[in-house]
Amino acid sequence: MTTAAETETAGYDAEFDVNKLYVWGVSLLIGFIGYSSQIFVFWGYLGGAGARGFVVLGVFNVLLHLLYYNYYLAVTVEPGHVPLGWEPPRDGANVYELKRDTLKPRYCRICKGFKPPRTHHCADCDRCVLKMDHHCPWIGSCVGFWNQGHFLRFVYMVDVTCGFAMVLHGMRMYELVVDSLNGTYYVRQPTQTEVAFLIINMTLLFFVLVLVGALSCYHAYLVSRNTTTIESREKDRVAKLVRSKRCRPTPYPYDLGVVRNFKALFGDSVLLWWLPKRMVGNGLDFSI
């Protein structure tokens, strides 16, 4: 006979395995596109291009490994949880959030603790997450204060790396089409394996660029406003209430201006935004 505790544990294990499947799926997709492109497509026509070919392949591998490393950090770095016993400061605080109906500090009945500003409870993770943006199955966790920068660097590195790979695939495809139309193969005649991987990888790259590109644009907009996915939805609901005259307009306190908003997440040096770094701050209070 199965006890309730065993049932709950089994459910947790099943969910954990699903999360691992998502992560493994993303890792395998990155590896498949990244390395099959080089082995079956790039090396054949760039390997004989001398120093220029090696430089191009070197740049591609730097981008690929930066992508991998940022994904690793997005998966392994905790999004941030509320310290045990945390309470809203009674004075000297920049801002803290109140419940709309009671005008008291926000409190999580599930975690049995107060919520710092921008903190929300995640039903999937079963805990409150600091500056929660959303729960992302592709990293098997939430995007929160401590891993948001890693997650967004990963997303943008997907755009850059896949865009670079698409250009290289397109160059090879152009050569093959031109040579086919002219009836000559000045570079080399392609094998069936190369053509197959050329088509497969270009198809995968197209869909990845469209889907992740849309996500990148949306999150770039959110970062420019220093807001999260959850906060953006909350702002939309407030805007509807204001239009229906059910509440008064309330200024959003965290928008510091576009430049300061990006620097708050990626660091002060624009040239180093692509490099992984630890978030500055504690996730409990924010500049306004």
Catalytic residue ranges: 136
User: What is the Cα–Cα distance from 282 to 80, expressed in whole angstroms?
Assistant: 9
- Give the strand pairing for 134-136 and 141-143: antiparallel
Tell me 39's DSSP state.
I
Helices (H), the chain: 4-37, 43-46, 51-76, 148-182, 192-224, 229-243, 258-266
Q: Could you tell me whether strands 107-108 and 134-136 are parallel, antiparallel, or unpaired per DSSP bridges?
A: unpaired
Torsion of CA 205, 209, 215, 219, to 10 degrees: 120
Burial class (CB in 10 A: 0-12, 13-18, 19+), 67: buried
Single-letter amino acid code for the residue at 217: C
CA distance 134 to 181: 50
Could you tell me how far CA 106 lies from the centroid of its own chain? 28
Left (φ > 0), alpha (ψ -120 to 50) or beta: where does 108 sit?
Answer: beta
